[in-house]
Structure 1
Amino acid sequence: MSTLSWSLSPSSPLTSALGSTASTNISKQCPLPDLCFSLNIPDSSLQSGTGDFFLQITGPTKYAWISIAQGEQMDGAHYFVMYTAPDSKNVTVSTRIGKGYSPPIVTQDTHFQLLEGSGVLNGTMTANIKCSNCTAWSGGSMSLTKASTSWIWAHLTATPLSSSDTSLKIRKHDAYGSLAFNSTSHGGADLNPFVRHSAPIPPNTPPTSTSKPKVSHGPPKRVVIMYTAHAILACLAWAFVFPLGGIMIRLLSFPGLLWTHAYLQIAGFCMYTAAIGLGIPLSNNPKFWRMENKHVLIGLIIFGLFFLQIFTGYLHHVMFVKKGGRTIWSMMHLWSGRICVTLGIINGGFGFQITHKGWESWEVKTYTVFGVLVWIVYVASIVIGENRRRKRITVEKEGGGMLGITAAGASTSQSEIESGMQTPQDGQEKEVRKMGKMGLRERL
């Protein structure tokens, strides 16, 4: 197995890079006026289909990091990430592999060198890279003989990282795009082709190739709207509407409570169904396939479980009235609901990971704090409700015949709750129904 070799400091001062060089063909793309990438594939690599290529990255130190990657999308791309070294005179280059749409993972399998001309001069970072095994990597490959090769780039505008750690955790980009190097990159000796081109590139330098790079500062507006709507609907459903229905049925008592609970759950289900309708096309895009992502899988599982919730919820209430207590349908309804609410709140956090939002973003902070508080209240309501139910059953058992009266009252009470009938004028019957109402809620 070959070993990784590199040099974090230029072998000679940056200004010495203005010396002579062999005649080579270089394709240069500048997606931004102050950000350029250049590629050369020497004759020996073109003939064999494998071997070396030479890559140059240049950009100002106002960018905390700059990256270029082989591939058309993040997933499976092979990254070269450049940032300033601790002495602020040299640069560090880290190679990484894109896994899904999370931050790329550091790889030690790339065999590359930093060549003469790499460093920082007059506020511009330059990395002259020779890669010896970059035609194939874990998750992808690139043919050097093709007339055009596809790449993606990104950067983050922030203070310099000033680190020699190639495993350094980097924050999410604030601009990205795609570009292609054409056949003007083909030809030349297997030598550093950038010794004449490593001086800082002046602003507004046009690309030397005829193809215009595609520049993007974020996903299309339509996609952003879909992501935002999906997040709002799903978060409201699982971190507010569904838990609220569970809290109310345990802690409150008023005419129409059961129907209010049912309507809330139906409203939450409609909201979540709309969120699923937006999420599936976003995850099913062939270029951005996410159907195997844990957020998507958990979301679909919960969606399926909720159909079971509707069925068991109906049987739970019907059989409760018929049997005068909980049945297997009750336990299925109660516990599947509790599991769904917990998974739904957690899954919201997994969703933010897809969009690369970290703890520093206000959206994640707000959702986390609110979701945790709601879940705590939700669990507390379950504990309080179960304690009330146990005490009620104990009192009924100790009262002997009162159990039958209460059970009958419970059935009448549910009918009253669901139909909105007025309470009877007879004081004794009114009291029995009042007890029945309490018994129904506390034994559900």
Structure 2
Amino acid sequence: MKAFSVLSRLGLASIFSSFVVSSQVQDASSTSSDTTAGSVFITPAKDLAFALNVPDNSTTDIYFSFMMPTGISWGAIGLGSNHMAGALILLVYPSASGNNVTLSPRLGSGHTEPVYTPDIKIEALSGTGLNNDTYTFNGRCSSCRSWLDGSGKIDVKSTTQNMLYATGEDDNNLKSDSFEAPLKMHYNYGTFTMDMVHATGPAGVPIIDTAEDSKLVATVQGLSKEGKKDVKAMMHAIIMVLTFVGLYPFGVFVLRLGSWVRWHGINQAFAFVLTIIGSSLGFSISGTYNRSKKFNTAHQVIGILIFIFIFAQFAIGFLNHRKFKQTQQKTKMAPIHVWMGRVIIIMGVINGFLGFPLAQSSQFNYVLAGLVLFIFPGMLLILVVKRFLQKRWEKRKNQPNGYDLEPWLQTNNQAGNGSAQEIPGQNASIPGMASYAPYQANGMKTVDLGPPQNTREYV
């Protein structure tokens, strides 16, 4: 991932003096009554900065500030825990126009996409928006100290309050005004602790020092992971594209190209196993994201139908082959097997084009389209050329080839008349051997054939 630095993009802290409500400049080491108190956290990759203020004159409010460069798809801070389960997650991403910021309060429930909760009320304050290639959200929350009926909370008296963070990949795919915008899996994530006592003081949006050498303020970095990918989703996509664009069509291809039934069966059996593996990964992934938990998207519905069809297709193919070996005759199951296979391949390819947008990765549809336009026409072209050459060879094989050196091998019809086949070396003017009486072995008088004839070859 390209390293986006909030601090390097923001430059001097004075650039953002107009982004804060407080007119006072914060001293990072001071929480005196005449300054806005705050604890500040900056991710190791410097792709997200977060500052928190706990007003000493309120028992419900907190003030906070987010900063995130435009290259990052989304950023999030989890309050109250170092695990997603039970944490209150403040999620920010670009608005639909790209010129503002959407903040979505969500509740974590484990290693799944957090769910939007309307119970958390957050007010956007002055300075929120896009400035100098940096998204900033300054806010006040009146219900962020306690949630889920008190089972989730932040302890404003703690000097080591657990927090977590996460950022999305380096892309601009996510732009939405909706609080329930779909996410891709986090790319960087980790934990930290925050000194809430240090953050307590006069109310106001805390300042984030944007100098290049800026350091954490009253926070301690914990776990830090970078470059995480949704491996299950990647393997699901790779296996399914390989199967429906590669293996299944190739199985049909080898059968049409050389009638290689054994290789057709082995190939389709391997593709069948891979389809089961890929589908299982798809079912597992569906429970990770809010958009797919109900199994009601077009991609999932078609995928379930295909999953059922491949079992029927495999069974019909097996029974058809076994019956053919017994009878050596075409069965009624053959056309069903052929047409069901064609339908499954077409449905699988269409479902691939539906799957990438569901995974928030529509750009891969171009790759899929390229594979389809290269592989399918390529196989078809080879089969057409093979058919053409086969017909030409058969035509040449059956075509007469000039003078026949052995005309006596022709059938009566090939000879051009219905007369009896002539015996080699016999002239038409000489009677056939059948006209001569045979020698009578029983002593009867034989027929006199006359004087011997000189041998002569008739052509």
What range describes the TM-score normalised by the shorter chain of this pair?
0.5 to 0.7
Q: Is the 8 A contact 2:193 2:221 kept in 1?
A: no
Deviations 1:46-98 (A, max 9, x none): x5xxx433221135x56466532547669995522368999xxxx72212477
Distance 1:73 1:284, change over 3 A: farther
Greater helix percent: which structure? 1
Q: 1:332 and 1:39 mapped to 2: Cα distance?
A: 66
Q: 1:258–1:98: structure 2 CA closer, same or farther, 3 Å change rule?
A: farther
Closer, same or farther: CA 310–26 of 1 in aligned 2, 3 Å: same
What is the correspondence of 1:335-414 to structure 2 with a 5 Å cutoff?
335-353=339-357, 356-359=360-363, 363-371=364-372
Aligned to 1:127, the other structure's residue is in SS state: strand
TM-score, scaled relative to structure 2: 0.55
Residue 128 of structure 1: CA displacement? 1.9
**1:161-208 CA distance string (max 9 Å, x none):** 9x9x846999979953233454526874683242xx25x422243323
Q: Which moved more, 1:310-319 or 1:266-275?
A: 266-275
Paired residue type of 2:246: F
Tell whether 2:265 aligns with 1:262.
yes
Q: Decide whether aligned partners of structure 1 residues 331 and 300 sit closer, same or farther in structure 2, where only a CA change above 3 A counts.
A: same
Match of 2:24 among 16, 19, 23: 19
Paired residues of 1:155 and 1:175 also in contact (CA < 8 A)? yes
Check 1:236–1:125 CA distance in 2 against 1; reply closer, same or farther (3 A cut).
closer
Q: How far apart are residue 44 of structure 1 and its match?
A: 7.3
* Matches for 1:34-433 after TM superposition, within 5 Å: 34=46, 35-42=48-55, 51-59=60-68, 63=71, 67-70=75-78, 78-81=90-93, 92-96=100-104, 111-116=121-126, 118=128, 126-133=136-143, 142-145=152-155, 148=161, 150-154=163-167, 166=177, 175-180=187-192, 182=194, 184=196, 188=200, 191-194=203-206, 197-198=207-208, 200-219=209-228, 224=231, 228-249=234-255, 251-252=256-257, 254=258, 256-273=259-276, 275=278, 279=281, 283=285, 299=303, 302-319=306-323, 322=327, 325-327=330-332, 329-330=333-334, 332-353=336-357, 356-359=360-363, 363-371=364-372
| 1:97/1:106 contact within 8 Å kept | yes
Amino acid of the residue matched to residue 368 of structure 1?
A: A
Deviation at 1:239, TM superposition (A): 0.7
Q: Is the 8 A contact 2:72 2:169 kept in 1?
A: yes
Native 8 Å contact 1:95 1:108 kept in 2: no
CA contact (8 A) 1:175 1:218 kept: yes
Letter in 1 for 2:369: T
Q: Match of 1:207, as an amino acid?
A: L
Work out whether residues 91 and 103 of structure 2, in 8 Å CA contact, stay in contact via their aligned partners in 1: yes
Q: Which residue of 2 aligns with 1:30?
A: 42
Aligned to 1:32, what secondary structure does the other structure show?
coil
Q: Is the 8 A contact 2:62 2:142 kept in 1?
A: yes
User: Percent of pairs identical after alignment?
Assistant: 19
Per-residue deviation at 1:281? 9.7
Pick closer, same or farther for the CA change 1:364–1:171 going to 2, 3 Å.
farther
Report the equivalent of 2:402: none
Larger CA deviation: 117-126 vs 176-185: 117-126
Give the distance between the partners of 1:338 and 1:136, measured in 2 at CA: 57
> Of the two, which has the highest radius of gyration?
2
Q: CA deviation at 1:367?
A: 1.3
CA contact (8 A) 2:65 2:139 kept: yes
TM-superposed deviation, 1:304: 4.8
Q: Give the 3-state SS of the residue equivalent to 1:184 in structure 2.
A: coil
Deviations 1:122-149 (A, max 9, x none): 77654321133557999xx953448645
Q: CA deviation at 1:365?
A: 1.4
Instruction: Tell me by how many angstroms 1:236 deviates.
Output: 1.5
Q: Distance in 2 between matches of 1:78 and 1:332?
A: 54
Specify the SS of the correspondent of 1:239.
helix
| Contact 2:236–2:282 (8 Å) recurs in 1 | no
**Residue aligning to 1:405:** none
Q: Which amino acid aligns with 2:320?
A: H
Q: For 1:66 and 1:204, how far apart are their aligned partners in 2?
A: 24
SS at match of 2:100: strand
Deviates more, 1:263-272 or 1:73-82: 73-82
Tell me the SS of whatever aligns to 1:39: strand
Structure 1 residue 298, shift from structure 2 partner: 5.5
Query: Secondary structure at 1:260's aligned position in 2?
Result: helix
**Alignment partners' CA distance in 2, 1:346 and 1:367:** 10
CA distance in 2: counterparts of 1:185 and 1:340, whole angstroms: 62
What is the rounded CA distance, in whole Å, between the counterparts of 1:22 and 1:237 in structure 2? 67
Q: Is the 8 A contact 1:41 1:188 kept in 2?
A: yes
3-state SS of paired residue (2:153): coil
CA root-mean-square deviation = 5.6
CA distance in 2: counterparts of 1:239 and 1:219, whole angstroms: 28
Alignment TM-score, normalising by the size of structure 1: 0.56
Tell me, yes or no, if the aligned pair for 2:239 and 2:274 is still in contact at 8 Å. Answer: yes
- Paired residue for 1:423? none
Q: Distance in 1 between matches of 2:107 and 2:301?
A: 17
